[in-house]
Amino acid sequence: MVLTGWLQVVLLFLLVLACTAPLGAYLYRVFTGGRTWLTPVIRPIEYGIYRVCRIDPDAEMSWKTYAFAIVGFSVVGFAYLYFLLRTQAFLPLNPQHFGNLAPDLAWNTAVSFLTNTNWQFYSGESTMSYLSQMAGLAWHNFVSAAMGIAVAVAVIRGFTRKDGVRLLGNFWVDLTRTVFYVLLPISIIGALFYMQQGMPQNFAAYTDVHTLDGAVQTVTNGPMASQEIIKNLGTNGGGFVNANSASPNENPTPLTNLIEMFSILLIAASLTSLFGRFAGNKRQGWAIFAAMAIVWVVMVGCAYAAESVGNPLVHSLGVNGGNMEGKETRFGIAASALFAVVTTVTSCGAVNAMHDSFMPLGGLIPLADIQLGEIIFGGVGSGLYGMLIYVVLTVFIAGLMVGRTPEYLGKKIERREIQLAMLTFLVVPFFVLVPAGIASVAKDGISQLGNNGAHGFSEILYAFTSSVGNNGSAFAGISGNTFLDFWTGTSMFFGRFAMMIPPLALAGVMAGKKSVATTAGTFTTTSPIFVLLLIGVIVIVGALTFFPADALGPIVEHLQLFQGKTF
């Protein structure tokens, strides 16, 4: 590890920290209907949409109605994208004349982008037309991210509501405001910046160029800049091309590499500030931010250390240095390890290096990031409401420790709240470990592995962890087939909606509770002790759940590596 590597970490953290409170304040004005600098332009469009769609913006929803609206919108979105992918050969903006996607691949891709996962069992540059990239995938990048943010705002309202009314806001209003006031303005600015840095944004066909040694190389074109910004800002992650952010077209300079990581963390971090403002106590938001930041720094340090140490088998040949396999030389070890952690502590999944080529413990860190529920900082929206589930459990444990009825924001945490929290916790391990176990013994599962032994198991475990966590990154050694298309698609669906509905139900219960007065005996949830206790609960729950599976994969591979065993 070198100083310049840690300076990159510090610079990224300072950028995120500097923008968390200002963007949180802006989001608060947006979701409370306040006036912003975009209001004169956007408000007529916003209310025009409400009139056309017959939406009453003042009508609030119960958690059940809010959830029903989400499911209904998602069903329509899935059908639209599936139809587009199955018919792209007959539609315009297809200069490469790509054919229609097979039914199983179209199913997997439609579910993937619907759920903000963006897992890709295909190479974008040889599969997707420009129309499919823009009107299908990029459109879902906006609305799936907006859906996550809308749910987070609804959960925040439920936790912080003080009048005892079991209403969480209006899904259609939250969705519309997220897209027009938050995602679109930042994406326009970001796309223009990426274009200035050299990222393509056109409808031109691919270009064949002749290299100096006489070979022919195909250079991809297309509307990349507009998709690149929202794939990161919305923590979507699906690359326009197969190499994703390792491609010079999708990530041309060190500056774009920094901004991509910054945009991945930006909204997720700012939602903590939004929570503090809704709660009427900004320290509540900063306590959650602190817990996220501490775990993030530890994960970065572990990944950076593992990759900097390098491969002992290579060292035995007299070649010293860190592990550069699967990494771009223009980014190096530090930026690659940092990007890997940034993209997996969120539900983004964009990559600038191949996780399959990381050292065993270096690959364990991205895997563990997703297994923790991607709540450090998490996906846009999903990270915050996932973290609030951990907060509820932490408050409950703290209450038992001090012999008092657990309370959070003045509301008692009782049996029903804990039942809903535990239901949320069970989703990830069930839909990761069960299908991963089946795939590790089924012929159709192991036939698609690029490696055998412990590393092959890591590929399977990572695939289902990434699918359920709606992350989308992969240990790239695993290939797709009908079996994996179906099971990973199913895992993505339950990983999204089975993780989304219980927090909404919990928010509905919390909204119906009236706040009680704080007393001298109330356990404070803004202190360093609470932050450390929250981190402890996160680590213990994650370790108890996934350590046995991880021990069979990257941990065994690490131990066998020192015995000269490779896979």
DSSP string, 456-486: HHHHHHHHHHHHHTT-----TT----HHHHH
pLDDT bracket for residue 171 (50, 70, 90): very high
pTM for the full predicted model = 0.94
pLDDT bracket for residue 398 (50, 70, 90): confident
Burial class (CB in 10 A: 0-12, 13-18, 19+), 218: exposed
- For residue 318, the tally of other CB atoms under 10 A from its CB is 6
CA–CA dist 295, 305 (Å, integer): 15
Structure confidence at residue 563 (pLDDT): 84
pLDDT bracket for residue 401 (50, 70, 90): confident
Instruction: Please state at what angle helix 415-439 crosses helix 382-402, rounded to 10 degrees.
Output: 120
Mean pLDDT across the stretch 143-169? Answer: 94
pLDDT bracket for residue 213 (50, 70, 90): confident
Q: Where are the beta strands (DSSP E) in 320-387?
A: none
Structure confidence at residue 178 (pLDDT): 97
Beta bridge partners, 219, equal 207
The larger pLDDT score, comparing residue 210 to residue 31, is at: 31
Average pLDDT, the chain: 91
Structure confidence at residue 286 (pLDDT): 96
Do the domain assignments include residue 562?
A: no
Burial class (CB in 10 A: 0-12, 13-18, 19+), 305: middle
CA angle 550, 551, 553 (to 5 degrees): 65
Does residue 242 have a pLDDT over 90?
Answer: no
Does residue 521 have a pLDDT over 70?
Answer: no
Does residue 483 have a pLDDT over 80?
Answer: no
Q: What is the DSSP letter of 210?
A: E
- Decide: 352 and 358 in contact? Cβ < 8 Å: no
Structure confidence at residue 265 (pLDDT): 96
Lowest mean pLDDT: which of 11-20, 181-190, 286-295, 433-442? 433-442
CA–CA dist 380, 146 (Å, integer): 8
CA–CA dist 328, 248 (Å, integer): 10
Do the domain assignments include residue 444?
A: no
Do the domain assignments include residue 273?
A: yes
Do the domain assignments include residue 385?
A: no
CA–CA dist 301, 334 (Å, integer): 10
Does residue 341 have a pLDDT over 90?
Answer: yes
Report the domain count for the chain: 1
pLDDT bracket for residue 375 (50, 70, 90): confident
Do the domain assignments include residue 131?
A: yes
- Decide: 397 and 534 in contact? Cβ < 8 Å: no
Mean pLDDT across the stretch 206-213? Answer: 87
pLDDT bracket for residue 360 (50, 70, 90): very high
Lowest mean pLDDT: which of 241-255, 298-312, 478-492? 478-492
To the nearest 10°, report the CA torsion of 453, 458, 460, 463.
Answer: -160
> What residues make up the domain containing 240?
24-279
Q: Residues 410-444: pLDDT tens digits? A: 888 988 999 999 988 888 899 999 999 998 888 88
Mean pLDDT across the stretch 14-30? Answer: 97
What phi, psi does 255 have (nearest 5°)?
A: -70, -45
Q: Count Cα atoms within 13 angstroms, Cβ side, for 464.
A: 29
Share of the chain above pLDDT 70, in %: 99
Do the domain assignments include residue 72?
A: yes
Do the domain assignments include residue 542?
A: no
CA–CA dist 130, 240 (Å, integer): 10
What phi, psi does 407 have (nearest 5°)?
A: -135, 145
CA–CA dist 191, 197 (Å, integer): 10
Number of helical H runs and strand E runs in the chain? 21, 4
- Decide: 123 and 72 in contact? Cβ < 8 Å: no
CA–CA dist 144, 352 (Å, integer): 23
Do the domain assignments include residue 242?
A: yes
Torsion region of 406: left, alpha or beta (phi above 0 gives left; psi -120 to 50 gives alpha): beta
CA–CA dist 372, 85 (Å, integer): 33
- Decide: 341 and 331 in contact? Cβ < 8 Å: no
Q: Is 249 helix (H, G, I), strand (E, B) or coil?
A: coil
Does residue 520 have a pLDDT over 80?
Answer: no
In the numeric block, which tokens belong to residue 151? 């749910």
Mean pLDDT across the stretch 217-235? Answer: 93
CA–CA dist 178, 152 (Å, integer): 11
Q: Residues 103-142: pLDDT tens digits? A: 989 999 999 999 998 888 888 889 999 999 999 999 999 9
